[in-house]
């Protein structure tokens, strides 16, 4: 019995072992088969990734990334490839991170083959088109980030049941929000779909998202009201949408979990419910840019954790509850643009804990000192701009030792800038622009070692730019335009911005420099000039979040755009500043030290009185914008400007540059704005190929010695018809002659009536173009007095159309020094005198009276009308125009004397064609006058130029 039992036991064990072997074998076979069929192995994951690499390289043949290009097919495992992560034992690929890796084109459509994939980050690239349907079948995916791309179309991710974190922000996705998200949000914790084009009402789209904690729907096209249950979230943002109506009190319940609530820039109205105080954990409340009205609830003062409170751009009452001053954690208070007037409320002097105080855009008239604001020792930023403050600037503000930003722009402050403003120990931005300040710029401002931004624009400041500003080694953004500053640019100014890094490093140590509200984009636009090409495209795109990001990068010294150094095509991201000194009375020479300013990409010194040679050292600056228009620079244009490979905007117009035009400017392949007009002594050939040949004739007006390619032309369909027969006759000749005589007496009234009718049909072609089209250019180097100096004091520039020379003094003598007894008529904005030139010609001299730009336009209009160019006249000339002359503000036209001086007399005497032609001529004259008064550039000639350097001879005989 024992033996049988033993055998039975052995047999039982063998049977069990056999069964276990069979089960193991079957399991192994199933595993192998499953791996072969489903691709559930590291080897197949590797092949999928190599397919992804081939796909990306095919779409990015030039600018390839730094991650996927290093994936090597000879490696046994992809787990150590850049951007790839695997599970703990290295058996499966679980993560793909190609964020910011220069990806472009479509999204790879086989990510589902990575069956173990739980993490996918393709953000910060240039991926486009719609999200492929394949991505919606990645059922294991828990993290998906496609933000900061240009993906468009509607969204379908209904198969992503395991998704916990979804970021689709900063794309171009659209469609109704309701059908997209309910099916995938069971496990969602974080969802960010901001900055897209989703539309429709929110409704109950997120009602099933029981685990959702953070939801960002900002900057879309959503409408309707707020959904029930947002108080269950920790963070909710719906800013910059079209949500409207009153904010219902039932949205906030006793167990509110909200820590951050952003309802900014919507259409909410009515009073703010006091029940918002149920959100005891609230640290950020942003209601900026709505129509909330009534009293600010005192219950907000019970939310002790509140750190940032944006109530700006609403209609709240000016009565500020005392409870707010008890918010010990409150750092940021924005009550801008609420219509508060009179004196600043005294309660603001009790916000000793606040670091950022924004009261801009109200109607305050005083109270800066009486409110106690200068006693706020912790205040880092004070913005009182766009109010109605008047009187002198308060010197007491200089006692605020922690102040980094002081913005007092757009007020009515008068008097001088207090020297005490040079005592701020840590100030980084000082904006006193758009006031009525006078006096000189204090030398004490040179002590502001941390100053990054100084703008004193649009005041009435006088005196010289203090050389002490050169001690501001952090100063990168300097704006002194639209003042009355005089003197030269001090050589020391070239030292500004030489070492801003200590200030940048200080800011980098702080997590958040400027927690920005949406309204601060206005300050950002003042910081960044609108005509600065790298930034100009940003303006229509600026939102609260983008402004916050730009602020942070600028103040920490991170470059926003790529620039290149002199003679270098390689572009790198670097911080770059500007110097704006235009519209002053500055004079003298530009110092050659300007070449040391290697951290500046914009220099605007136009509309001043600078003279002499422009320094060649300018070519060492990494400029993107160079504007020196309306000065008196002379000599050759520095060919070194052609070394500025990143230059986009170059304006050298209205100067006295001379010599051969530097063809090196044709190397500026990025140039998109170029103006060399009204430098009449520049000669040479504009190459028919290259960048300069892409500009129209308007870039070269008033440069008669330049030889332009024949295809550079601004002609329009409004040119005169050269094939029209001027001698067309009719069978009603006698009647038409009588009608012509009658019309001569009523032409003034007709012109006035026609102007009203044709003002909407103004020609696109500048009359100055017509003037230059039919001229034959030649160069005469002799002056009337035989002097070879271009600066001879009595030389007056005379531009002529005839072949017989005369000077300004000849005109004066011919008219008896414009004697009253020589007056023969008045009309066309000036007085007409009769005279006789030295060669015996009897002439009419029209002396235009009006000065300024408008006077110059009228001068051009008269000149065009008299010469008959471009206005549909059937004869080449209405009257023989001998020439014109500018002597300072004096504008003279010299033409054939016809017995009358007015335009109407000339029409009567000279126009001898059909009445239809006569009306057409009157219409064209009216159109020319309207056009010139709004569009034409004046033909400006300076007195200090050699008299006879340029003569314009008409190609057809008179």
β-pair type (104-105, 84-86): unpaired
Print the SS3 string covering 253-315.
Answer: CCCCCCCEEECCCCEEEEECCHHHHHCCCCCEEECCCCEEEECCCHHHHHCCCCCEEECCCCE
Decide: 651 and 628 in contact? Cβ < 8 Å: yes
- In 3-state terms, what secondary structure has residue 526? helix
Order of strands across the sheet that contains 632-635: 486-487, 585-588, 609-613, 632-635, 656-660, 681-685, 706-707
CB atoms within 10 A of CB 658: 20
Token reading at 116: 């173990």
CB atoms within 10 A of CB 483: 24
Query: Residue ranges of the alpha helices (H) in 807-896?
Result: 808-814, 852-867
The DSSP code for 500 is -
CA terminus-to-terminus distance, the chain: 146
821, with CB counted inside 10 A (0-12, 13-18, 19+), is exposed
The DSSP code for 459 is S
Decide: 845 and 815 in contact? Cβ < 8 Å: yes
Helices 733-758 + 903-910 axis angle, to 10: 150
- Determine phi and psi for 938, rounding to 5 degrees: -70, 150
Give me the DSSP letters along 739-756: HHHHHHHHHHHHHHHHHH
Instruction: Write down how long the chain is.
Output: 958
Decide: 154 and 132 in contact? Cβ < 8 Å: no
- Bridge partners (DSSP) listed for residue 825: 832
> Which has the closest alpha carbon to 275: 318, 231, 317?
231
Decide: 518 and 239 in contact? Cβ < 8 Å: yes
Token reading at 259: 């820590």
Give the residue numbers marked as catalytic: 944
- Determine phi and psi for 218, rounding to 5 degrees: -70, 155
- In 3-state terms, what secondary structure has residue 207? coil
């Amino acid at each position: 019995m024992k033996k049988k039992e033993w055998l039975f036991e052995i047999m039982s064990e063998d049977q069990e072992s056999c069964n276990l072997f069979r089960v193991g074998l079957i399991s192994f076979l199933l595993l192998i088969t499953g791996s072969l069929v489903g691709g559930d192995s590291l080897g197949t994951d590797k092949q999928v990734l190599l397919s992804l690499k081939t796909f990306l390289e095919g779409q990015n043949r030039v600018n390839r990334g730094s991650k996927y290009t290093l994936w090597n097919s000879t490696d046994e495992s992809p787990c150590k490839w850049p951007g790839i992560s695997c599970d703990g034992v290295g058996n499966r690929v679980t993560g793909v991170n190609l964020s910011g890796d220069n990806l472009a084109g479509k999204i790879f459509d086989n990510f589902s083959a990575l069956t173990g994939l739980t993490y996918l980050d393709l953000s910060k690239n240039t991926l486009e088109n719609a999200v492929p349907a394949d991505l919606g079948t990645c059922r294991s995916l828990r993290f998906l980030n496609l933000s900061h791309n240009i993906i468009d179309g509607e969204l379908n991710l209904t198969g992503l049941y395991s998704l916990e974190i979804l970021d689709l922000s900063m794309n171009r996705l659209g469609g109704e929000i309701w059908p997209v998200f309910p099916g995938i949000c069971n496990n969602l914790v974080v969802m960010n779909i901001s900055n897209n084009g989703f539309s429709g009402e929110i409704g109950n789209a997120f009602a099933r998202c029981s685990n959702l904690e953070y939801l960002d729907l900002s900057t879309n096209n959503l409408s309707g009201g707020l959904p029930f249950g947002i108080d269950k979230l920790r963070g909710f943002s719906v800013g910059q949408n079209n949500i409207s109506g009153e904010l219902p009190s039932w949205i906030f319940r006793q167990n509110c979990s909200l820590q951050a609530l952003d309802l900014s820039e919507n259409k909410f109205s009515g009073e703010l419910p006091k029940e918002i105080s149920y959100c005891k954990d609230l640290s950020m409340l942003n209601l900026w840019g709505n129509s909330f009205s009534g009293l600010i609830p005192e219950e907000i003062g019970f939310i002790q954790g509140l750190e940032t409170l944006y109530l700006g751009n609403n209609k709240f009452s000016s009565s500020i509850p005392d409870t707010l001053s008890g918010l010990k954690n409150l750092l940021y208070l924005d009550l801008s643009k609420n219509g508060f007037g009179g004196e600043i409320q005294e309660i603001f002097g009790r916000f000793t804990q606040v670091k950022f105080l924004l009261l801009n855009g109200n109607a305050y008239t005083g109270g800066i000192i009486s409110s106690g604001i200068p006693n706020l020792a912790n205040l880092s930023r004070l913005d009182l701009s766009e109010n109605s403050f008047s009187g002198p600037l308060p010197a007491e503000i200089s006692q605020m030792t922690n102040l980094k930003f002081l913005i007092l722009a757009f007020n009515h402050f008068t008097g001088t800038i207090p020297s005490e403003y040079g005592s701020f120990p840590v100030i980084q931005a000082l904006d006193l622009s758009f006031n009525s300040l006078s006096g000189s710029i204090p030398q004490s401002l040179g002590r502001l070692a941390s100053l990054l931004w100084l703008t004193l624009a649009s005041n009435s400041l006088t005196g010289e730019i203090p050389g002490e500003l050169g001690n501001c080694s952090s100063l990168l953004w300097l704006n002194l335009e639209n003042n009355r500053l005089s003197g030269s640019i001090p050589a020391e100014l070239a030292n500004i911005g030489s070492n801003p890094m200590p200030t940048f490093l200080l800011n980098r140590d702080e997590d958040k420099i400027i927690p920005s509200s949406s309204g601060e984009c206005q300050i950002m636009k003042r910081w960044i000039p609108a005509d600065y090409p790298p930034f100009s495209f940003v303006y229509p795109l600026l939102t609260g979040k983008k402004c916050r990001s730009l602020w942070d990068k600028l103040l920490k010294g991170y470059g926003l755009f790529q620039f290149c150094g002199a003679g270098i095509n390689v572009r790198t991201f670097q911080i770059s500043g500007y110097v704006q000194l235009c519209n002053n009375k500055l004079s003298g020479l530009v110092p050659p030290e300007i070449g040391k300013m290697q951290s500046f990409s914009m220099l605007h010194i136009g509309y001043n009185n600078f003279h002499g040679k422009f320094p060649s050292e300018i070519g060492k600056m990494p400029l993107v914008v160079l504007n020196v228009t309306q000065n008196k620079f002379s000599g050759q244009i520095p060919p070194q400007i052609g070394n500025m490979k990143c230059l986009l905007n170059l304006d050298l117009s209205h100067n006295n540059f001379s010599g051969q035009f530097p063809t090196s400017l044709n190397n500026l392949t990025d140039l998109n704005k170029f103006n060399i007009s009204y430098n009449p002594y520049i000669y040479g050939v504009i190459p028919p190929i290259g960048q300069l040949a892409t500009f129209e004739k308007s870039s070269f007006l008033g440069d008669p010695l330049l030889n332009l390619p024949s295809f550079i032309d601004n002609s329009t369909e409004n040119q005169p018809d050269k094939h029209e027969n001027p001698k067309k006759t009719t069978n009603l000749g006698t009647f038409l002659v009588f009608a012509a005589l009658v019309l001569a007496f009523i032409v003034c009234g007709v012109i006035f009536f026609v102007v009203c009718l044709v003002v909407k049909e103004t020609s696109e072609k500048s009359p100055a173009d017509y003037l230059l089209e039919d001229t034959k250019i030649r160069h005469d180097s002799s002056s009337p007095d035989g002097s070879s100096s271009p600066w001879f004091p009595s030389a007056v520039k005379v531009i002529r159309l005839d072949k017989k020379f005369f000077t300004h003094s000849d005109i004066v003598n011919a008219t008896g020094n414009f004697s009253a007894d020589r007056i023969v008529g008045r009309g066309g904005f000036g007085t007409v005198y009769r005279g006789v030139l030295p060669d015996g010609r009897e002439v009419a001299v029209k002396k235009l009276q009006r000065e300024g730009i408008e006077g110059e336009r009228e001068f051009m209009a008269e000149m065009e009308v008299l010469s008959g160019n471009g206005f549909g006249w059937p004869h080449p000339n209405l009257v023989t125009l001998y020439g014109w002359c500018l002597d300072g503000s004096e504008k003279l036209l010299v033409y054939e004397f016809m017995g009358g001086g007015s335009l109407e007399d000339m029409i009567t005497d000279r126009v001898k064609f059909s009445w239809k032609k006569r009306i057409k001529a009157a219409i064209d004259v009216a159109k020319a006058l309207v056009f010139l008064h709004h569009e034409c550039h004046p033909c400006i000639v300076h007195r200090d130029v050699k008299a006879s350097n340029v003569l314009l001879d008409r190609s057809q005989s008179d």
